[in-house]
Amino acid sequence: MEIIITIIKIIVVLGVMLGCVAYIVLLERRLSAGIQNRIGPNRVGWQGLLQPIADVMKLVFKEDIVPTKANRFIHDLAPIISIGVAMTTFAVIPFGDRINLFGYDIKLQIADVNIGILYILALTSLGVYGLTLSGWSSNSKYPLLGGIRSSAQMISYELSMGLSIIGVIMIAGSLELDTIVEAQAGWRWNIILQPIGFITFVVAAFAETNRLPFDLPEAEPELVAGYHTEYSGMKFALFYLSEYANMFVASAIITTLFLGGWQVPFVHSLGLPDFWVSVIQVFGFLFKIILIVAFFIIIRWTIPRFRYDQLMNLGWKFMLPIAILNLLITGLIILLI
Amino acid sequence: MLVDYIPVGIMIVFGVAFGLFMMKASEWFGPKNPNEIKQSIYESGMEPIRSARERMSIKYYMVAMLFIIFDIEVVFMYPWAVNFRQLGMFGLIEMFIFVAILMAGFVYVWKKGALKWD
């Protein structure tokens, strides 16, 4: 029975996630159009709501072009790694409290692992492989440059990412994401207790997901399309999808660690039955994710791209010392209070 | 303990299966009329010059090496952070010493110019 519930949970979560990701793409196109004083896609369905389906249909019926010089096996493998990693990272994130459905007490988290944070860090490191291998296997210069840049960038920012979480772990005293969310009950959100950690984590998350102030791996004016220049059809779509899925997952992680996860303030004082409280918490979690995704998108269309040396200097010479300082200060404050 | 990871395994199977299916989709549904020019690599419309299997700047390797060194230090801090409240002041002072040694290495790397990008 457990296994069946788990499989149902996985299917529902992946379905919601892919649906959200498809509409995040549309949200990005509409928001960017608004920022640039254009209209954006609004023809397919009401306000362009069917646009993601049209895009997928178009890409499915495109030719799959593989350069003759490319390493065929790795060329095929890279998009699978990218999307697989982006989707599996969500496994440990709690998206709600317990809920009672049809007589079963269901925990709204796919895998209740006791080292949730380490799992997330491990999988985000694996994400580097997708980009680097795609760049290398194409045997072409632009993808190679994009792949190498992305590996150097992602491993540099992983340091400050790992360091900025340590403050949160010290406050909660656990690596379990569940405990971390419960430690933020009411208004004790980590964004208030850990403002520096929050900022460093968000900046590192931008770099890890290759979003605009740090999108050197696919900088259009210099590298055409970066690591996925030689991809077409659904393989290209997989990279595109995994980029947005990464953004979605990164927002979910930010929400879980710093914005109280599925906690919705004051919901217990409304006197609703337990079932509706859980439903409101799940939607509260989704709402927070969408807000952060919108923040990601607005940043992309308002801030210019960094130069590569600026990116590396920021990561190594600024973020790393700041994150270590934050960790020591947090320790002092916890002990003195 | 290991039972906790079964859902993760199922999730990985689902993710990879989704990736495989999507990847094969355009092979199944898309048109197939390859020709030599279409399958050559993209180089802004020029004839490709030499191959892409060439040597890269040493800096990237340097960054990768520094990453491994510093990332291991970061991993050491996780168990410390979990047990922080039990360790108390003793643990904090120990961490100050640890960070001081780490920073000595960091400053050395910085002064040696390993982090310089120009």
Q: Do A140 and B48 touch (CB under 8 A)?
A: yes
Q: Are A128 and A144 in contact (CB under 8 A)?
A: no
Name beta bridge partners: B72.
none
> In the predicted model, is pLDDT for residue A144 greater than 80?
yes
B-chain CB neighbours of A83 within 8 Å are 15, 18-19, 22
Radius of gyration for the alpha carbons in chain B, expressed in angstroms and rounded: 25
Tens-digit pLDDT profile for residues A274-332: 788 888 888 888 999 999 999 998 888 888 888 888 888 888 888 888 988 998 898 88
Tens-digit pLDDT profile for residues A55-78: 888 888 888 888 888 788 888 888
Calpha distance A132→A217 (Å, rounded): 10
Residue B44 domain flag: no
Residue B103 domain flag: yes
Which residue segment(s) compose the domain that B96 sits in? 58-111
A126 touches chain B (CB under 8 A): no
> For chain B, how many structural domains are there in total?
2
Query: DSSP character for A304?
Result: P
Tens-digit pLDDT profile for residues A238-251: 888 888 888 999 99
* Other CB atoms within 10 A of residue A46 CB: 7
Q: Do B14 and A174 touch (CB under 8 A)?
A: no
> For chain A, how many structural domains are there in total?
1
B43 touches chain A (CB under 8 A): yes
DSSP codes, A287-300: HHHHHHHHHHHHHH
What is the model's pLDDT at position A56?
A: 84
Tens-digit pLDDT profile for residues A189-209: 888 888 888 999 999 998 888
Contacts with B, A 47-66, CB within 8 Å: 59-66
Give all strands (DSSP E) within A32-152, no chain letters: 98-101, 104-107
Residue B14 domain flag: yes
Q: Distance of CA A66 to CAs A72, A138, A263, B39, B84, Å?
A: 7, 8, 47, 6, 53
Please tell me whether residue A107 adopts helix, strand or coil conformation: strand
Q: What percent of chain A has pLDDT over 90?
A: 5
Query: DSSP character for A104?
Result: E
Residues B64 and B106 in one domain: yes
Is pLDDT larger for residue A276 or for residue B43?
A276
* Model confidence band, residue A41 (pLDDT cutoffs 50, 70, 90): confident
What is the model's pLDDT at position B97?
A: 92
Residue A5 domain flag: no
B3: left (phi over 0), alpha (psi -120 to 50) or beta: alpha
* Model confidence band, residue B100 (pLDDT cutoffs 50, 70, 90): very high
Residue A115 domain flag: yes
Nearest to B85 by CA among A326, A171, A197, A192: A171
Contacts with B, A 148-187, CB within 8 Å: 148, 151-152, 155-156, 158-159, 162-163, 166, 169-170, 173-175
Residue A154 domain flag: yes
Query: How far does A39 lie from chain B, in Å, by closest CA?
Result: 30
Residue B95 domain flag: yes
Residues B31 and B67 in one domain: no
Give the domain CATH number at B105: 1.20.58.1610
Residue A33 domain flag: no
What is the model's pLDDT at position B37?
A: 77
Residues B69 and B26 in one domain: no
Q: Residue count of chain B, please give it.
A: 118
Which residue segment(s) compose the domain that A256 sits in? 66-336
* Other CB atoms within 10 A of residue A134 CB: 29
Residue B31 domain flag: yes
- Euclidean distance between the first and final Cα of chain B, in Å? 49
Residue B86 domain flag: yes
Q: Distance of CA A185 to CAs A14, A144, A182, A188, A259, Å?
A: 27, 46, 5, 6, 10
Query: How far does A202 lie from chain B, in Å, by closest CA?
Result: 18
